[in-house]
Amino acid sequence: SQLDLEPILAGLNNAQRLAVTNPSSVVQILAPPGSGKTRTLTSRAAWLLCPPQSLDPRNVIVATFTVKAAREMKERISKLVGNGVEGRLVLGTFHCIARKYLVKYRHLVDIKPGWGIADSSDSLGIRIIKRRKSPLDPSQVRSRISYFKARNSSPVADALPPPSTAGTQSAQARVRDIPTEDFAQIFEDYEAALGASNLLDYDDLLLRCLELLRHNLECVSNVEAVLIDEFQDTNLVQFELMKLLAWKRERITIVGDPDQSIYGFRAAEIRNLSRMVRAYPQTLVVHLEQNYRSSASILLAALEVIEQDHDRPKKPLTPSHSVGTRPVLRRIPSAFLEASWIVSEIQRVRAMTGGMVELGDIAILVRSANLTRNIETSFVKAGVAYKMVGGLRFYDRVEIKTLLDYLRIVQNPGNNDALTRIVNTPSRKVGDTTIKALLDEADKRAKSVWEIIRTGLGGIWKDVRIAKAAEKGLGDFMGIILSTQKQLEGDEQGKGLVDVVEFLMRRIGYEDYLRRSYPEDFDAKWSNVSELLSQAQEVERLDDDEDTLPDIDGLPQSQVEQSRLQLVLDRFLSNTALANEVKGDDETVKQGQVTISTIHASKGLEWPIVFIPAVYQGSIPHSRADDTDEERRLLYVAMTRAQALLYMSCAVRNSQGDKTKLSQFLTHRSLYPLLDSRGPTLGFSSVQSVSGILGRECPSEVHIQIAVDKSGVASTLDDQFPDRDPLESDSEGDDLGEDGARLKRRRLQSEQASC
């Protein structure tokens, strides 16, 4: 009834409402940034769950791009529908969803019990490359392997994907510069090593799930609807998964924006959008045109950037907010001064807006993580709290990783990768020679290293020469693992995973070890460990439903021979692995902290104030990127994260001291009048427009602070616009009047062009 739907549809515009309530079975919502795609998708999920549709949440699958996005969507759906519905939805990233199916139906694809998810570290690649004496860089090899697996092809059979879009072309280029045979061998070793450790990597999760569903369609015969966010960044395997998940009812809703496809380097396929229309001729394509996020002037500047791609069809995009303050583009003498300019601008804006803007409203978005050092330093100096997102990930920190490795071995002792990493941490006199001997023996006998240690310590394997001291060390190590495993068995009331982890840490002597090894950083490291413990506690509280897909009649599920605590440990380790897939996904930013993030990790998010430093050639477009269009889309994604104020900057000399050139995406003449490249940037009207866009109360008193530019910033930009029209004068300050007229003129032009 109309009444039931009211909370779901409230606050949506007409186009969004139609998309939410559309009776078509296959709906593709294509729309620009900030047009409410994610919001519309969330509402459609809620609509499907409410009467009269009333789908059972366990039969509805929702795929998001990040774990963080999944969490937010769950919260929203819970607000809209209630009844704890969100806990029963199959909602998560593709990898989370695939894992659920593999947990339940492992036996149908011959995955051995006790399997784990390989984390994203490079140690496996390093070991293999070392053994092959190959000169290749481990992390590159790893990403190449992943590229192939994501395209569901082996390197030998499909060494050169068919030439087509720029995206695949660049991948080809990357493939060509390594001898295929060498790579094929490494690929084989890598796969064998995963198999020997009973591990699946991220791509395997999807591929094995694909295999499962292909041969056992009845596993998903219950699925009533499939919804996918950020569809432009799905890969071929995910596309196939979507088709299989939805085979029974063919009810699919996807939202996406081809202009925001930024994961082509990881084999994402923009063409999945057209592929979908071909696969489902009944697809209804819906466009949304109203942007609710950004000020009109930010939008226009962003559009000017994306429209430089002439092959791109023109699309209408209507701003909802007023013109606002023109985006700022500053040329600054050095990277050091650029960083201090950002800090002083932040302080100035905060002072002017009298508490309306908080640190949590601000983000610094960078093309690559190594650009942040200067900025971090100046934040520290000025006492501005910040959070680095997508830098060294929480689960990759040494104190966390080591502990997780222990737990991984407790869960699956056959995990050679984890075992060789930590068998000698803290030192047990098990040196590299011993480890190598163990690995060789394991290879030779097709057994795991653990198995070799367990059965070989008495000297059964004659070939393994192990020093007395090392033998004792290995014995101690085995004792720790075995006794912790014992802790997990049985179902002692009131005992939690935290107790087990604490037991393990006591057996290792972990606190002592950290204190000895990191006397300077011990406190920080120990507080990270506490954070991990509280996450372990969190997992315990989660509903058991979380892991449970509905039972299908006549379809046996994997035998669960595990105790409750073993299951909890499984879930905990999977969570940590899955959150590590997208860089920065595991980070939560607290209020009162500026966010520093890579552009890639900022997808789908928004902030009132955004800084994009280092917009120079070689940074964006990046010197190592071979798809310029994807780089342009990256800048577009970054710019469209901003709601009210957007600052871009470019040091004349970068932090290496090299002279830079402004990014080619920003030197177009048509951009010049849309950007503020000189003068003080904020006046009273800016503060008013910020308050309008954010819907926050304007401070009663605005403290105008004129920026005193000590860095010689102003007016050095002109030489960056070689074909600038000299008659087009750049006015100072934030004059909305004249700007407004100019923006209108520009919009008219672009509308005419699109007619």
Burial label for 281, CB within 10 Å (0-12, 13-18, 19+), is exposed
Q: Which stretch binds Mg ion (CB under 5 A): 541-549, 567-575, 599-607, 746-754?
A: 599-607
We find the least distance from the C-beta atom of residue 159 to ligand ATP, in angstroms, to be 35
Residue whose C-alpha is closest to residue 31's, from 324, 321, 322, 318: 318
Q: Give the interface segment with ligand ATP, choosing from 31-39, 148-156, 246-254, 655-663 (CB under 6 A).
A: 31-39
Whole-number minimum distance, CB 434 to ligand ATP, in Å? 51
CA distances from 712 to 333, 337, 571, 663 (A): 8, 10, 55, 20
Judged by CB under 6 A, which stretch of 7-15, 382-390, 616-624, 679-687 contacts ligand ATP?
7-15
Distance CA(379)–CA(53), nearest Å, equals 52
In the bound state with ligand ATP, the residue whose beta carbon lies nearer, of 287 and 397, is 287
| Residues 259-288, mask of contacts with ligand ATP (x by CB under 6 A) | -x----------------------------
Decide if residue 326 touches ligand ATP (CB under 6 A): no
**Which CB sits closer to Mg ion, 536 or 634?**
634
Min dist CB 289 to ligand ATP, Å, is 11
Of the candidates 616, 680, 683, 681, the one whose C-alpha atom is nearest the C-alpha of residue 652 is: 616
Minimum CB separation of residue 638 from ligand ATP in Å reads 11
Taking the least distance from each CB to ligand ATP, the nearer of 504 and 637 is 637
- What is the longest distance spanned by two Cα atoms in the chain? 88
How many residues in the shown chain lie near ligand ATP by CB under 6 A? Answer: 18
Count, residues near Mg ion per rule CB under 5 A: 3
Looking at 26, 33, 223, 532, which residue binds ligand ATP (CB under 6 A)?
33
With CB under 6 A as the contact rule, which of the stretches 30-38, 50-58, 271-279, 355-363 interacts with ligand ATP?
A: 30-38
- Give the interface segment with Mg ion, choosing from 32-40, 42-50, 296-304, 465-473 (CB under 5 A): 32-40
CA distance 399 to 683: 48
Rounded to an integer, what distance in angstroms lies between the CA atom of residue 400 and that of residue 398?
A: 5
Q: Within 13 Å, how many C-alpha atoms sit on residue 268's CB side? A: 19
Least distance to ligand ATP, CB of residue 230, Å: 7
Contact 236, 269 (CB under 8 A): yes
Contact 28, 57 (CB under 8 A): no
Shortest spacing between CB 634 and ligand ATP, in angstroms: 13
Choose which of 16, 28, 35, 38 interacts with Mg ion (CB under 5 A): 38
Contact pattern for ligand ATP over residues 582 through 611, marking x by CB under 6 A: ----------------------x-x-----
Question: Which of 8, 26, 28, 36 forms a contact with ligand ATP (CB under 6 A)?
Answer: 36
Please, what sign has the CA dihedral across residues 683, 685, 690, 691? positive
Measured CA distances, 634 to 261, 627, 638 (Å)? 8, 11, 6
For 647-664, b/e burial (b = at least 16 CB within 10 A) is: bbbbbbbbbeeeebebbe
- From the list ligand ATP, Mg ion, none, partner contacted by residue 100 (C-beta under 5 to 8 A by kind): none
Choose one: 26-34, 338-346, 348-356, 525-533; the region binding ligand ATP (CB under 6 A): 26-34
Residue nearest to Mg ion (CB): 38
Q: Which of 34, 258, 264, 604 binds Mg ion (CB under 5 A)?
A: 604
∠42-643-741 over CA atoms, to 5°?
Answer: 125
CA distance 127 to 131: 6
Q: Which residue from 35, 64, 416, 689 is in contact with ligand ATP, where contact means CB under 6 A?
A: 35
Sheet holding 607-612, edge to edge: 328-334, 642-653, 607-612, 362-366, 594-598, 386-389
- Least Cα distance to 422 among 400, 440, 437 occurs for 400
What is the Cα–Cα distance from 186 to 129, expressed in whole angstroms? 7
| Total residue length of the chain | 755
Instruction: Figure out which of the listed residues 8, 16, 245, 298 binds ligand ATP, where binding follows CB under 6 A.
Output: 16
Task: List the single partner that 235 binds among ligand ATP, Mg ion, none, CB under 5 to 8 Å by kind.
Answer: none
Q: Is position 11 an interface residue for ligand ATP (rule: CB under 6 A)?
A: yes
Residue selected from 7, 13, 382, 426 as contacting ligand ATP according to rule CB under 6 A: 13
Question: DSSP string covering 665-705, please?
Answer: GG--GGGGGGSB-SS----HHHHHHHHHHHT-PPPSS----
- Quick one: what does residue 308 bind among ligand ATP, Mg ion, none, with the CB cut-off 5 to 8 Å set by partner type? none
The answer to whether residue 39 forms part of the interface with ligand ATP (CB under 6 A) is: yes
5-13, 433-441, 585-593, 667-675 -> range binding ligand ATP (CB under 6 A): 5-13
User: Quick one: tokens of 696?
Assistant: 């926050």
CA atoms within 13 A on the CB side of 705: 15
Q: How far is the CB of 291 from ligand ATP (least distance, A)?
A: 8
Minimum distance of ligand ATP from residue 140's CB (angstroms): 30
Task: For 550-584, give the secondary structure using H, E and C.
Answer: CCCCCCCCCCCCCCHHHHHHHHHHHHHHHHCCCCC
Residue 641 CB, shortest distance to Mg ion, in Å, is 11
Residues annotated within the binding site for ATP are 31-38
38 within 8 A of 228, measured Cβ to Cβ: no
Task: State the nearest-atom distance from the C-beta of 315 to Mg ion, in Å.
Answer: 16
Q: Binding site membership: which residues?
A: 31-38
- Where does this chain touch Mg ion (CB under 5 A) — which range of 35-43, 99-107, 443-451, 577-585? 35-43
Peptide bond preceding 52 in cis form (omega within 30 of 0): yes
| Spatial CA neighbour of 172 closest among 182, 160, 164, 181 | 160
Instruction: Please report how close the Cβ of residue 273 comes to Mg ion at its closest, in angstroms.
Output: 15
Extract the tokens encoding 370.
Answer: 């190594």
Question: Helix crossing, 335-352 with 373-382: angle to 10°?
Answer: 40
Give the DSSP per-residue string, 60-123: EEEEESSHHHHHHHHHHHHHHH-TTHHHHSEEEEHHHHHHHHHHHHGGGGTPPTT-EE--S-SH
Residue nearest to ligand ATP (CB): 36
- Among positions 603-662, residues that touch ligand ATP (CB under 6 A) are 604, 606
Provide the minimum distance between the beta carbon of 666 and Mg ion in the complex, in angstroms, as a whole number: 25
Identified binder of ligand ATP from the candidate list 201, 204, 257, 345, rule CB under 6 A: 257
Give the one entry of ligand ATP, Mg ion, none that residue 598 binds, where binding means its C-beta sits below a cut-off of 5 to 8 angstroms depending on kind.
none
Pick the stretch among 34-42, 192-200, 444-452, 660-668 that binds ligand ATP (CB under 6 A).
34-42
Return the number of the residue (365 or 577) whose C-beta is nearest ligand ATP: 365
Query: What's the closest the beta carbon of residue 6 comes to ligand ATP, in angstroms?
Result: 15
Q: How far apart are CA 73 and CA 77, in angstroms?
A: 6
Q: Which residues bind Mg ion (CB under 5 A)?
A: 37-38, 604
Q: Which residues bind ligand ATP (CB under 6 A)?
A: 11-13, 16, 31, 33-39, 257, 260, 292-293, 604, 606
